[in-house]
Amino acid sequence: GEDVEQSLFLSVREGDSSVINCTYTDSSSTYLYWYKQEPGAGLQLLTYIFSNMDMKQDQRLTVLLNKKDKHLSLRIADTQTGDSAIYFCAEPFTGGGNKLTFGTGTQLKVEL
């Protein structure tokens, strides 16, 4: 089956903006999610966007959605060392059943 795709690594300088990209699979997905995983911890739900929106902003986080291209991005403004983590996008499983399909994860490294 198709995978939810993300680039594996991203390195940015502290204070710069980070943009993490995701290509999902199902154009009918209603909600799309971004999760953050710090080392040795569980996943934390960061934000989500409903499919009838093309942008959502929440403090330093901006989510952009391009339904035509099935492309989702997460922009982190003024990136801090505490933002270093793995970021996962997720969409509802196409087969239903209250499951999510997660992307491969993008490891964000913030350098001083």
Partner 1 sequence: SQTIHQWPATLVQPVGSPLSLECTVEGTSNPNLYWYRQAAGRGLQLLFYSIGIGQISSEVPQNLSASRPQDRQFILSSKKLLLSDSGFYLCAWSPGTGKNEQFFGPGTRLTVL
Residue with smaller CB distance to partner 1, 13 or 99: 99
Residues of this chain, 22-41, that bind partner 1 according to CB under 8 A: 30-31, 33, 35, 39-41
Helices (H), the chain: none
Residues of this chain, 36-65, that bind partner 1 according to CB under 8 A: 39-45, 48
Cβ 78 to partner 1 shortest distance, Å:
26
What does the alpha-carbon distance between residue 10 and residue 20 come to, in Å, rounded to a whole number? 8
What does the alpha-carbon distance between residue 28 and residue 96 come to, in Å, rounded to a whole number? 12
31, 55, 28, 29: which is closest to 45 by C-alpha? 31
Q: Which residues bind partner 1 (CB under 8 A)?
A: 30-31, 33, 35, 39-45, 48, 86, 88, 92, 97-100, 102, 104-105
